[in-house]
Every structure is written in C-alpha cells, then in structure tokens.
Amino acid sequence: MRTMKVGNITVDSSNFTLIAGPCVIESEAQVMEVASRMKEITGLLGIPFIFKSSFDKANRTSISSYRGPGINEGIRILKKVKDELGIPVVTDIHEPYQAELAAKVVDMLQIPAFLCRQTDLLIAAAETGLPVNIKKAQFLSAKDMRNVITKVEESGNENILLCERGNTFGYNNLVVDMTSIIEMKKFGYPVVFDATHSVQKPGGNFTSTGGNREYVEHLAKAALAVGANALFMEVHKDPDNAKSDGPNMVKLDEIEVMLKKFIKIFKAVREVESNNYSL
C-alpha cells in the first residue's frame, strides 16, 4: 500500500489515522475549541490527527438549512487551526474553482460522495498536487472507484485516499458493506472509513438528514477489524444542537473513550495478521 503524507502526518498501515472535526464551521470559537480538544486527546493516545470541517455544505436537504460561512471566511478559520495548533487540515470542495483557493491553506482536499464522478472537480483537485480524499458515492460499488482513481492519476496526482461511507437503497437509510474496504484496498491506496456519515438517514427528518450515532462506535470497530487505515468522524460539543448532521455526530466528551477501544482493536488485528498471536 502506498504511504500518504498529509501535512506532517503519515497515513500508512502502522497506525490508524483519525480525521475529525465538526461537520460544518459554525464559528471560529467552535472550531478552535473542538480542534484544541481533539489535538490534546489524540496526542495523549498517540493517534495521528487531521482536522476536518466544511466551509460550505452545498448538498443540504433543505434550501433553508445552514450551509457554512463560505470559502473565504472558512479558509481563514482553517488556517488559524493549522497555524496556531500545528494540525494538518482538510476540507471538502464542491466546485472546481474552489480547489486552488482551498489548496493555499489546507493539507488535503476532500471530494464529497455525491460528487466523486464529477470529472472537472477531480481534475481540479488533482492539479493542486495535494492528497485527495475521495468519498465513494452512495450509489457506487467499491470496484467502480477504479474509474474515479484513474481520473486523478491521469491528471498527474497519485496522492489518493479512498473513503467508504455506506450505500443507499432509498427509504432514508444507508447500508455499510465492509467488504468495500477490502476491495478498495486492492487499488493500493489507503482506505478511510467514514463512521459518522455511514449512520446517516438521508432526508430522514423530511427537511433535514437524520441519523443514529449509537451505531458509530460499532461500525468503526468493524472497519478497523477488516483493515481500514483511517477513520473519519464528525465531532461536536453539542450534536443535538448542531447546525448540520447533528444526529450522527459524536459528542466531544465521548470521543476519548471510543478512541481507546479503537486502538486496542487495531493493535489486536495487526498482531494476528503479523502471526504473532498464539492461543
């Protein structure tokens, strides 16, 4: 598997990497509080950490839903996280012109699942030279990601991560097939598991997306057990009052306990795979 560098973080098979932060930037104070706390927790646990939050959520269920502060203010806030806390940052982009603007600050670009087949967006992201975390669309199989990867590779960029976030069969629900992680790893790039978006219920609250954060921990454990190289988790101090994706975000006060469990699972699986385990 290729090793990826995201800022000062190395994504490989030696340890799982955590990509985490609030779904959308609600305020500078909110972002700095979550980023500071997450840096402290991951530092104590020895987990490589990349901070994520969105300057715009362009695919909200309702036209009246909060989308974010916009690219200029959002990038300014992410730059503050990077400069003051020394944390690599990632954000998603929705239109090709945003790639170059975001790349001036962030360490990795993220392609939203619904947009992973958008050729112009993939090319623009690839041409920045930054690592690109591509979320597998809810309507694609793992093997379909070969064509997505090719678009980025043939645009001159092999700094790719692939992200599993479940598949939709309609009826406001997602189903996670853990074999997708195994299949995507065959492409030779690190695979991320999005543990919080995988428990979404798209449009499940009619004018907003629902979800069930109760399942986040269980799915994350399973993903690490089958070989995920990184976890993506959206974290919020008060998810029930969040402006986006509240039902599936993890409470900031609960993340440390989860991460301690994930470390044990990751180490146990790697020990078995390295043939150092005996009854």
pLDDT at position 204: 47
Could you report the per-residue pLDDT of 242-277, keeping only the tens digit for each? 988 788 899 999 999 999 999 999 999 988 887 755
Give residues with Cβ within 8 angstroms of 228, minimum separation 6.
Answer: 16, 164, 181, 191, 192, 193
What is the rounded distance in angstroms from the CA atom of residue 40 to the CA atom of residue 60? 31
Q: Which residue is listed with tokens 């930037």?
A: 25
Is 176 in contact with 219 (CB distance < 8 Å)? Answer: yes
Is 235 in contact with 252 (CB distance < 8 Å)? Answer: yes
> Greater confidence, 64 or 48?
48
pLDDT-based confidence at 200, cuts 50/70/90? confident
- φ, ψ dihedrals at 246, nearest 5°: -55, -45
> Measured between alpha carbons, how far apart are the two ends of the chain, in Å?
29
AA identity, residue 74: G
Give, in order, the Cα–Cα distances in Å from 81 to each of 24, 42, 173.
Answer: 14, 15, 34
Helical axes 255-273 vs 28-45, angle rounded to 10°: 40
Where do the domains of the chain lie? Answer: 4-273
AA identity, residue 226: V
Given a cut of 50, whether residue 165 has pLDDT beyond it is yes
AA identity, residue 138: Q
Poorest-confidence range of 63-72, 94-103, 111-120, 191-200? 63-72
Is 188 in contact with 2 (CB distance < 8 Å)? Answer: yes
> In 3-state terms, what secondary structure has residue 241?
helix
Could you report the per-residue pLDDT of 131-143, keeping only the tens digit for each? 999 999 999 999 9
**Where does the chain have alpha helices with state H?**
28-45, 71-85, 96-103, 119-127, 145-153, 179-185, 216-226, 255-273
pLDDT-based confidence at 236, cuts 50/70/90? very high
Mean pLDDT for all residues in the chain: 93
pLDDT at position 232: 98
Could you report the per-residue pLDDT of 211-231, keeping only the tens digit for each? 688 999 999 999 999 999 999
What is the rounded distance in angstroms from the CA atom of residue 26 to the CA atom of residue 44? 27
Whose CA is closest to 108, among 200, 47, 202, 189? 189
Fold of 4-273: TIM Barrel (3.20.20)
